[in-house]
């Protein structure tokens, strides 16, 4: 921002904070240094419109109104109570928590906003050392391209449209959603909202959105129902009760370390001319367990239960038959 | 931070910031705002030209330098910082909530107090459009490893760990100098200087099987830098193998989970991806676990190895069934 404009904007803010009367654009033109340079009425109004937009973008509450019924145009002022950040005073351990929170984001969209907040807290007299060491340093990234447009749509209350691909389906399908919020759960981002086609609440994984997200319609159309618990909705969808089961496996000697570290050895056993051991292991998710065990190929053989044995054999057959 | 784009917010925050810290050294103020001393002096010079209507000597902001320190003599009514914007409030409050609701990350009590104070100062009750659950799915065994590591970090001593390296499917003992604990994308990691690898490494906590504190101060070399996590924790290393894979719709998750290059949708609904890998045995395990849902186009040697392992596994499974 050029010095001239920055100076004019600071003076405009100070002037509007100091006045209790609404000041019309014409009065402001006569008072605030910088506007007198405008070569014409047109140039002044363009300049003033841009300046107002800039202040509103920064979140400065610009009030418009008239001092009396005889005024023919609106004037402007800034109410100090709406402008000023409330009183805040943090204990050292509270300031350390704020420092940790500011460092949480690893995100082009949120890192800058968190720093903006930090600068204002400091200006309010709070001392926050950004390098306060933490026991655990949590990091949240927002690398999905859909994140920024969805967050903007949520904040503005706008409907979004995008192509979405379910995990197993190759063809993306068009979705129209009233977005309620974006949620990070166990390291993945989700959009939570009302799916207009299915007429029901849905969660969408951001990584499965194909192409660009388009916001449509007016601002403020979407209203999030007050009872909605964003995190709870995503958590519920992703929390199938684990069905734990014990399996007996044969493991070749000295192999499959990743499996052995979770298993209990039972007895030595030679299989197919290969030395090894029988082990017992608790498996929580049978499907992913079958893939994990199959990954070890001939180094691990399922003895029990039958369902797991059949599942692993099916995976092996898939490869053996498809000899390339 | 982009100093041009953030200049106006900084100018508005500077006067209250300095008011709260009479006699602050220029260098400290510049550091808090993330700008050079030169830039900060330019900002102060600009503020000198700003003030209240009248703009006479008694109306302008008055900031005095004494040597290398700054003091505000007249603030022209700019006593408090501007309120947080919705984006700033979201970035800070969501991060604080996430940190406060995750056990083991920070002093929960301090976070809750900080949260209450920030919420009351910010003063807008609009629910945030972002929610973050930091914690991942964690086994009891993993939680038990955290405690001695935290203790070692606290005392500043080196530790010996038993660690499972998934890429080589091997368990090794190594002495490491703990640097910090991280929680990234829902998983916990120990970042440490590994004396064996002579480099900074991330150790996933759920792959640590044993922790022994040593009677020895941590001594990471001065060039040990924290890992840049903005691209995620996976990193392609030099000299890795490259495979061209055809993924069935059921196996598309691989392209979401691991970094792949040149992903292309094929007309038959499959996806062709190029994937790098550090260790062939790891790639073979991944592929075997997918059964026929993934085909190896290249290299032929990898395809042959997988098919051979699958054939041997089937033979051994048959031998096991024959024993029953």
Tens-place pLDDT, residues A268-292: 999 989 999 999 999 877 778 899 9
Question: Which among A116, A138, A314 has the least Cβ separation from residue B99?
Answer: A138
**Domain range holding A187?**
147-238
Peptide bond preceding A248 in cis form (omega within 30 of 0): no
Alpha-carbon distance of A195 to A233, in angstroms, equals: 14
- Å from B155 to nearest chain A CA? 12
Check whether residue A126 and residue A75 sit in a common domain: no
- Å from A123 to nearest chain B CA? 4
Q: Provide the pLDDT for residue B262.
A: 85
Question: Which among A154, A258, A296 has the least Cβ separation from residue B129?
Answer: A154
Q: Which of B53, B113, B315 to mutate to test the interface with A (most CBs of A within 10 A)?
A: B53
Helix residue ranges per DSSP H, B2-85: 7-19, 26-33, 37-48
Dump pLDDT digits (tens) for A81-91.
999 999 999 99
Check whether residue A98 and residue A113 sit in a common domain: yes
Check whether residue A234 and residue A152 sit in a common domain: yes
What torsion, rounded to 10 degrees, do the Cα atoms A213, A214, A216, A221 define? 20
State whether residue A187 sits within 8 Å of chain B by CB.
yes
Q: Provide the pLDDT for residue A126.
A: 94
* Range B7-74: architecture per CATH: Orthogonal Bundle (1.10)
Alpha-carbon distance of B286 to A295, in angstroms, equals: 6
State whether residue A240 sits within 8 Å of chain B by CB.
no
Query: CB distance A139–B183 less than 8 Å?
Result: yes
Q: Provide the pLDDT for residue B146.
A: 87
Domain boundaries, chain B: 7-74, 86-122, 140-217, 241-321
Query: CB distance B230–A120 less than 8 Å?
Result: no
Last residue of one domain, picked from the residues A216, A238, A260: A238
- Å from A227 to nearest chain B CA? 11
Residue B64 backbone dihedrals phi, psi, to 5 degrees: -110, 140
Q: E-strand spans in A88-195? A: 105-106, 136-141, 159-164, 173-185, 188-195
Dump pLDDT digits (tens) for A292-305.
999 999 999 999 88
Alpha-carbon distance of B20 to B5, in angstroms, equals: 25
Mean pLDDT over each residue of chain A, to the nearest integer: 90
- The DSSP 8-state label assigned to residue B60 in this structure reads B
Q: Which residue of B has its CA nearest to A251?
A: B316
Q: Is A302 helix (H, G, I), strand (E, B) or coil?
A: strand
**pTM of the entire structure?**
0.78
| CATH number assigned to the domain covering B241-321 | 3.30.70
Q: Which chain B residues are within 8 Å of A94, Cβ to Cβ?
A: 110-111, 113-114, 117
Q: Which chain B residues are within 8 Å of A59, Cβ to Cβ?
A: 82-86, 88
The total of other beta-carbon atoms located within 10 Å of residue A184's CB is: 24
State whether residue A245 sits within 8 Å of chain B by CB.
no
Check whether residue A32 and residue A97 sit in a common domain: no
Check whether residue A158 and residue A230 sit in a common domain: yes
Q: What is the ipTM of this complex?
A: 0.81
Q: Which chain B residues are within 8 Å of A91, Cβ to Cβ?
A: 110, 113
Cβ atoms of B277 and A197 closer than 8 Å: no
Confidence of residue A267 (pLDDT cuts 50, 70, 90): very high
The total of other beta-carbon atoms located within 10 Å of residue B199's CB is: 11
Distances, alpha carbon B114 to alpha carbons A95, A133, A235, B13, B194, in Å: 7, 17, 26, 21, 36
State whether residue A155 sits within 8 Å of chain B by CB.
yes
Check whether residue A161 and residue A220 sit in a common domain: yes
State whether residue A217 sits within 8 Å of chain B by CB.
no
Question: Which CATH number goes with the domain that contains A26?
Answer: 1.10.10
Helix H or strand E segment including A280: strand A276-283
Residue B156 backbone dihedrals phi, psi, to 5 degrees: 70, 40
Alpha-carbon distance of A259 to A278, in angstroms, equals: 12
Please count the structural domains in chain A.
4
Check whether residue A135 and residue A156 sit in a common domain: no
Alpha-carbon distance of A238 to A203, in angstroms, equals: 10
Distances, alpha carbon A241 to alpha carbons A81, A187, A286, B143, in Å: 51, 20, 12, 20
| CATH number assigned to the domain covering B140-217 | 2.30.30.100
């Amino acid at each position: 921002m050029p010095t001239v404009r920055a100076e004019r904007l600071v003076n405009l803010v100070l002037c509007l904070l100091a006045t209790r009367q609404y000041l019309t654009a014409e009065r402001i033109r006569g008072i605030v240094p910088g506007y007198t340079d405008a070569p014409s009425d047109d140039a002044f109004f363009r300049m003033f419109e841009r300046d107002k937009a800039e202040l509103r973008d920064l979140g400065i509450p610009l009030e418009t109104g008239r001092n009396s019924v005889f005024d023919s145009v609106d004037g402007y002022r800034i109410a100090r109570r709406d402008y000023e950040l409330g009183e805040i005073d943090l204990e050292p351990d509270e300031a350390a928590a704020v420092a940790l929170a500011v460092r949480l984001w690893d995100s082009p969209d949120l890192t800058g906003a968190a720093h903006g907040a930090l600068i204002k807290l400091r200006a309010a007299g709070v001392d926050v050392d950004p390098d306060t060491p933490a026991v655990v340093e949590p990091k949240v990234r927002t690398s999905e391209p859909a994140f920024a447009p969805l967050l903007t749509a949520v904040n503005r209350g706008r409907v979004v449209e995008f192509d979405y691909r379910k995990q197993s389906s190759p063809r993306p399908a068009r979705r129209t959603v009233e977005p309620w919020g974006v949620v990070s759960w166990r390291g993945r981002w989700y959009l939570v909202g009302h799916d207009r086609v299915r007429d029901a609440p849905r969660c969408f994984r951001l990584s499965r959105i194909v192409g660009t997200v388009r916001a449509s319609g007016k601002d403020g159309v979407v209203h999030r129902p007050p009872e909605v618990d964003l995190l709870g909705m995503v958590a519920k969808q992703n929390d199938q009760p684990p069905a734990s089961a014990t399996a007996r496996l044969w493991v070749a000697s000295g192999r499959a370390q990743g499996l052995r570290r979770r298993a209990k050895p039972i007895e030595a056993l030679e299989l197919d001319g290969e030395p090894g051991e029988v082990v017992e292991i608790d498996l929580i998710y049978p499907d992913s367990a079958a893939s994990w065990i199959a990954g070890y190929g001939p180094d691990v053989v399922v003895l029990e239960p039958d369902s797991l044995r059949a599942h692993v054999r099916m995976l092996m057959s898939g490869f053996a038959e498809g000899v390339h | 931070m982009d100093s041009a784009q953030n200049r106006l917010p900084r100018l508005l925050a500077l006067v209250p910031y300095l008011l709260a810290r009479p006699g602050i050294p220029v260098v400290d103020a510049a550091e808090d705002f993330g700008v050079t001393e030169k830039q900060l002096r330019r900002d102060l010079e600009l503020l000198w030209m700003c003030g209240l209507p009248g703009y006479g000597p008694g109306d302008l902001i008055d900031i005095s330098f004494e040597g290398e320190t700054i003091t505000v003599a007249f603030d022209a009514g700019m006593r408090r910082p501007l309120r947080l914007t919705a984006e700033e409030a979201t970035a800070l409050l969501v991060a604080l909530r996430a940190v406060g609701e995750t056990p083991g990350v920070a002093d929960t009590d301090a976070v809750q107090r900080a949260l209450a104070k920030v919420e009351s100062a910010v003063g807008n009750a609009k629910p945030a459009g972002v929610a973050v659950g930091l914690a991942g799915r964690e086994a009891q065994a993993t939680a038990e490893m955290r405690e001695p590591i935290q203790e070692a970090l606290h005392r500043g001593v080196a530790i010996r760990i038993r660690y499972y390296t998934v890429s080589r499917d091997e368990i090794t003992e190594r002495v490491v100098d703990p640097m910090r604990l991280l929680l990234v994308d829902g998983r916990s990691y120990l970042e440490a200087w590994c004396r064996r690898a002579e480099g900074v490494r991330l150790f996933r906590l759920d792959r640590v099987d044993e922790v022994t504190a040593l009677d020895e101060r941590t001594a990471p070399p001065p060039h040990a830098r924290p890992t840049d996590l903005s691209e995620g924790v996976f990193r392609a290393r030099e000299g890795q193998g490259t495979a061209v894979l055809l993924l069935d719709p059921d196996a598309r998750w691989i392209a979401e989970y691991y970094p792949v290059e040149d992903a292309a949708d094929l007309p038959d609904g499959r996806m062709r991806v190029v994937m790098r890998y550090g260790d062939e045995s790891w790639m073979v395990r991944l592929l075997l676990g997918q059964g026929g849902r993934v085909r190896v186009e290249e290299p032929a040697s990898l395809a042959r190895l997988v098919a051979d392992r699958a054939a041997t596994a089937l033979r051994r499974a048959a031998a096991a069934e024959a024993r029953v």
